[in-house]
Every structure is written in structure tokens, then in C-alpha cells.
Structure 1
Amino acid sequence: METVPYPIGENHPDPTLLFSIDRKHLKWMNGAAESWLRKPKSALIGQCISEFGRGFDELKTHINQLGNEDSTSYRGHDIIVNVRRIDFVCSFNIYNSAAGIVVQISPKEMGSGFVHATGPDQSVSMLGRMLAHELKNPLAGIKGAAQLLEVELENPDDLELTGLISTEVDRIGRLADRMEKFGQADFDNYTHFNVHEVLQKTFLIFVNQGLEDIEFVELFDPSLPDVFGDSDGIMQVLINLLANAVDAIKSVETHGVIKVETRFRTGIHRLDQTGRKHALPVEVRIIDNGPGIPEALRDRVFQPFVTGKSNGQGLGLALISKIIADHGGLIEVSSEPGQTEFSILLPVEPQADKG
């Protein structure tokens, strides 16, 4: 049995499969795939993916659409496959590697609000709980210090900053609470909210970072309906994307411009876990004039551990992708030298399986 030349595939929480270069047969799969398919590697090695069950022939079609260049990848959503007489709605990512064609699948059981649990998810959940515990300890001290400062301050601008510290500590605390439940789908915090209010709070964080050399341009559509989702999670997405844009601009000597645009889009839909379509009419676009994403990484930026930063971990965009997927939304990126654009599409109504 062939060993995949990168250990990340084995430990990835999503089912990951490796197919031959000619795309005809399975060479390897990780433990998450064995757990999901309920079959050992030995039973499936050598088979064509269309033999796995109903719906997998559509995934085979997408595999065959992948280009042959090493940097090529293909992302897709909302195919329905049947495993063990259970229908799953799947997003997927397909890309080339030295060993063959890699397929990573994110399955959600139809009619359930829970991501299908796989073996490695237990270790991921444990990591989430450990991180949340370590994160909460300093948060209480930071908030206490901010409250003590407020007693001594009189300047309204200074009080606004201490208020921002307290607000952000509370938001991070709520995220930490959710990290302790990592791997479980919890939609109790989903509600309608104004995305522009979230954007304004996000801008406030960056305005106080001394970024005078970077111009922030707001192009908002005031007629947009409220988004349905978790405002804390969406704010984290926006913070990460803006931070990436700032880092990109700082890496080159240019007048930095970051444009944030909102607009109403029609005709964009996704399937929820009941197989029903839901609209994604609210779009948020973040555009920067940095150097652009390296061509070799552009199609893989949402994969874990893929980064163009010398000190990066490659987890920020993977986290963003997960948060948007949990909302039933979409995120796409386009990039060329001198411009990178991220587009987020979000729902305005609860999905049938989430509310």
C-alpha cells in the first residue's frame, strides 16, 4: 500500500482520498475517510470512485475536470452522495500532488444540523477545548485592567478605546466558549444582524493600529437586508481578511488601499442539508492593492497549512472557510499582481436545517 508523502493528509479531520494520476483508481485514504465510508482501505484500494455508491459518479466528473498543472485545484459544493443508505451533502476540494489526485470531502448528513463526525474529529475537539481553556485565563485579566483604566480616564477617545478592549474581550470569550464545543454544530447564537454594524466595529480595531499609510474605502449598499448568522463569527472572518490585506500591503512599498464593498446579489444559491435551495443575496467584498497571492497558492489558499507568509501557520483562511460554510455561505478569491479580492456571500434567512 502506497504511503502519502505528506503526513497532514492522515491527520486531516475531513475524509481525504488519493487517486492515481490517471484518475482511474483509489491509491490511499485517511482514517477519517475509513470512518465515514465504514470500510477499510484494503476494501477500496484499486476501485474507481464511481463504485463507492450513489452520487459518487458526479464527484468523478469533477475530478476529471481538474487540470494537469501542479498548482491546479478545484473546489465545489452541494453534491449529494449516499453512504450506508444515508444521504450526505458534500463540499469538496480536489488538487494535484506528486503522488496523484487528492480529494478532500466535507460531508454533512442531510436532515441533520451536525457535521458528520469522524475519528480524528475527537482529537480536534480536544485541541479546541485545550485552546479555549488557555485563552480564557488571560482574558479575565485583560478585561479587569481595562475596567481599572476606565476609572482613571476622562478623555472620550480614551474611554472609547477601553470600551473597545472590553467589547473585544467579551467577543473572544464567546468564541472560546464555542471552541470548547468544536466539532458540534450549535446554531443557538444565529440571529438576524446588520452586516454594516459588524463592519464598522471591525474597522474600529484597525483604525487604532496606526495604519496611516493605508486608506480604507467603504462602498456600502444601505438597502441591504439583515444577514442571518453568528455576528461574532462573521466579525472574526472580517478581522482575518482585513489583517491579511494589511499584511499584504505592508510587504510592498506602495500607497495602500483596502476597499470594502457590500452589495445585493441575485441568482446565487446553495443547498442546505435537506437538499433545498437557499439564496445568498448579501455580498461583502474585500479588495487590496498588495502584491497578490502567489500563483502556485491561489487555488489552495483555503486548505489547512497552506500559506505564503514566512511566519504563517496556514490556518486563518481554513478557519474562515469553515465559518462561512457553517453559515451555508460561500467564499471565493481572485488574485493577480497588484490586486486581491475576497468575496463572501451570506444568507438572510435561516436554512431549513438550522432554524
Structure 2
Amino acid sequence: MSAPTSSIPTFDHDEIIQSHPVATLLIDKGGVVLFVNAAAEQLCNTGRGAMVGRVVDELIGMDRGYRQRMNDPATPALFAHRAEITLGGRRSAFVDMQLVPYGRSGHRILTLVPSQSDADLMGGAIGRSGRAAGAAASMLAHEIKNPLAGIKGAAQLLARKADASGERFTTLICAEVDRITTLIDQMEHFSRGQPIACGPINLYQPIHQAMETARARQFPGIGFVEDFDPSLPMVHGNHDALVQIFLNLITNGCEALGGRDDGILRIATAYRHGLSIDQDDGRGRIALPIEVSVSDNGPGVPADIRGDLFDPFVTTKREGRGLGLALVAKLARDMGGTAQHVRDGDWTRFRVHLPAATARKERAQ
């Protein structure tokens, strides 16, 4: 008589851990991070490459007692309810923290579960910040629309006398005025919670429009580098919102380089497997495989505001209003994506992760 064959399917355990909604880190006996899953990247607002190899308390600030026990190989397990931790240098959160042993080499698994009030940290949600940015934009909408109409009218008059090269710029001015006007109309609805109309978008159209607009400002001494993946699928998004996101990030990067003659602004796209978020809207976890990164080799963001970068009115610019990055985060969120900031060696990187249109279609079927 032969033994019964098991009907239990096999699973890819690495993929399960990577997709698990709980922030999970694997650390060695000295507290050095060996592995993080996507939820941990989202919670810490830091990419895997900037987390692995670092001591855990350099990434996650915590009470001295917890820190000592975390770095003590004689403490294999730790359980803490509603422990206060610090993320990104300044942002505080309360989590249920568990540390359990893994294997025989002294490795341990650390899990961090945000309390209900801090759950919006998962997935890069901006909650309060996004609402404040939307309200500010609504208040400014009327004052902005009037001069925009005048700018467009002047550009149309100039176009009648311009040669071919000049007509290119007047056409760009008119297109930008129309786009900004449409964006303002949308922003007036943000405070009332109305969603952005999204559909399949060729990602490179808004990227190139944003790059052309930024180049027209003639930032001296800056070299633009493109590192594009030509095989990316269509993204699920909104053209005007994407232009605004990329234009804000590119302009910020150029301004951060501050007239240096060796400045580099790099725009890259990539397909990332395994990254997903749960936005607590009943749809479950949504894959975000499309990544656009805007990087510069400037001095970077001051450490004391890195944790608040996506909050409104936070800025290092003397004449800045601090709404640009708050708007970037809100627009990304409203399209189902996320925006992140990391300091990677000599580079400041802003990453936007978005859902693919094909994945959204397959999910709906």
C-alpha cells in the first residue's frame, strides 16, 4: 500500500515574508540588519539598500533600555506593547514590538506593528499632511488662476510673431498654463475628498514633459542623466498629476545643486517586484512595481527635517512655501502610490512607486 500523496501546495516562503503586511527585519546577534521586507521599508521610509548592513538602532530610535537589549546577544526575545520609537530621525510612532530568536546563529526577527493611530505610516500615507496641502491649494486657487490667464494670453500674442524656435517655447507656456489650471481645479476638490481620475498612462510622456519644462528654466552647470527601463508597462495614474510630481522633484533637485558646475540630476525608472501596500480602503494589498527615482548629488536634506519632508510648510528655501513635497506625496497617494526620500551615500533620492495599469485590470477581473 503506497503512502497517501499530500495535497498541500508548496509556497515561496521568501515571497510570503516579503509581501507580509507586518514590518519585519532580520538582525544578527550584534543588531546589524540582514533583511527587511517591503512593509519595513514603508514604515521606516527608507529603501532596503540603505537599511541592510546598518545597526538597527541607527534606523529606528528607541528607549535606551530597549536599545541595550536589542544589541545584547544574551537577550534572545523581547516583547513591548505600544513602545515609542523614532523613524527618520524625528517622526515618532507607537508600535507593538516583538523580538524572537531565529536559527542557531544568534539571528533574531524583529517585528513592528503600528498602533491604530500610527497605522497610516504603512504605505507612506500622508493623512493630515495631505489634507492640509489640499486646503492650502484651495485657498490659493482663485489668486493663481487670474495671472495664469494673463500669461497664456501674452504667450498667444507672442506666438504670432515668433519664429519656429520661439513658437516651441510659447506652445510649452500655453500647455503648462492649461495643465496647471486643470491641476488647480482638481486641487479645489481635494479637500472634499474627490479622487483623481486615473487610467492607463505611458509613464514617459509626463516624465519628458516635466524634464522639458525644467530644462527651459536653464539651470547652469547641471547635467541631466536618463536611466530608463524601456520595457515598463503602462502605469495606472493621471497625466497632469504625474507631470506635477516629476516637475516638483526635478526642480527641487536642480535647485539643491545650487549653481555647482558638476551637478548631476538623474531620472531613472525600474520595475520592482514584491513592493505592495495596504491603504486601508478595503481593496487589500496593491502591488506598486513601477518606480521612478529623481536623484541629485547635492548636499542633501538637513537631518533635522528629513522626517518631516512631506509635511506642508516644511522647507529649507528662503522663499519657499513648503507645499511642493506635500503635494507630491498627496498626488502619489491619490493615485494609489507612495513617495519616499532616502539619502544614499552622496546622492539624495526621491522615489515614487505606482501601480501598473495591467495589474489593476487583472485585479478587477
Interval of TM-score (by shorter of Structure 1 and Structure 2) = 0.5 to 0.7
TM-score normalised over the length of structure 1: 0.65
Number of the residue aligned with 1:160: 168
1:312 aligns to 2:323 (yes or no): no
AA aligned to 2:212 is L
Q: In structure 2, what is the equivalent of residue 267 of structure 1?
A: 274
Q: Is the 8 A contact 1:297 1:306 kept in 2?
A: yes
Q: What is the CA-CA distance between 1:306 and the residue it aligns to?
A: 2.2
Q: Tell me the amino acid that sits aligned with residue 66 of structure 1.
A: I
Q: Match of 1:151?
A: 160
How many residue pairs match? The answer is 266
Residue 127 of structure 2 is aligned to residue 106 of structure 1: yes
Shift of the alpha carbon at 1:130? Answer: 3.5
Cα distance, 1:124 vs structure 2: 7.7
What is the Cα deviation at residue 351 of structure 1?
A: 8.8
Shift of 1:341: 0.7
Q: Is it true that 1:91 corresponds to 2:150 in the alignment?
A: no
CA distances 1:82-139 after superposition (whole Å, capped 9, x unpaired): 9xxxxxx95139xxxxxxxxxx9738xxxxxxx9xxxxx6x98765443211111112
Q: Which runs of 5+ in 1 are unaligned?
A: 1-20, 23-59, 83-88, 94-103, 108-114, 116-120
Q: Structure 1 residue 329 and structure 2 residue 329: aligned?
A: no
Question: Which residue of structure 2 aligns with residue 64 of structure 1?
Answer: 83
Q: Which moved more, 1:297-306 or 1:197-206?
A: 297-306
Alpha-carbon offset, residue 234 of structure 1: 1.4
Percent identity of paired positions between Structure 1 and Structure 2: 34
- From 265, 282, 297, the counterpart of 1:258: 265
Deviations 1:150-174 (A, max 9, x none): 11123x2211101100100000110
Shift in CA distance, 312/337, structure 1 to aligned 2, threshold 3 Å: farther
User: What secondary structure sits across from 1:64 in the alignment?
Assistant: strand
Deviations 1:205-254 (A, max 9, x none): 12222224100000111110111111111111111111111111016x45
SS at match of 1:297: helix
Q: Deviations over 1:14-36 (max 9, x none)?
A: xxxxxxx98xxxxxxxxxxxxxx
SS class of match (1:267): coil
Contact 2:305 2:314 in 1 (8 A): yes
| 2:218 equivalent to 1:189 | no
When residues 124 and 287 of structure 1 are mapped into structure 2, their CA distance, relative to the original with a 3 A threshold, is: closer
Alignment correspondent of 2:235: 227
**TM-score for the superposition, normalised by structure 2:** 0.64
2:94, 2:207 → 1: CA distance? 27
Equivalent-residue separation in structure 2 for 1:313 and 1:354 (angstroms): 40
User: CA offset at residue 148 of structure 1?
Assistant: 1.3
Partner of 2:226: 218
Cα separation, 2, equivalents of 1:317 and 1:234: 13
Residue 306 to residue 201, structure 1, CA distance change in 2 (3 Å): same
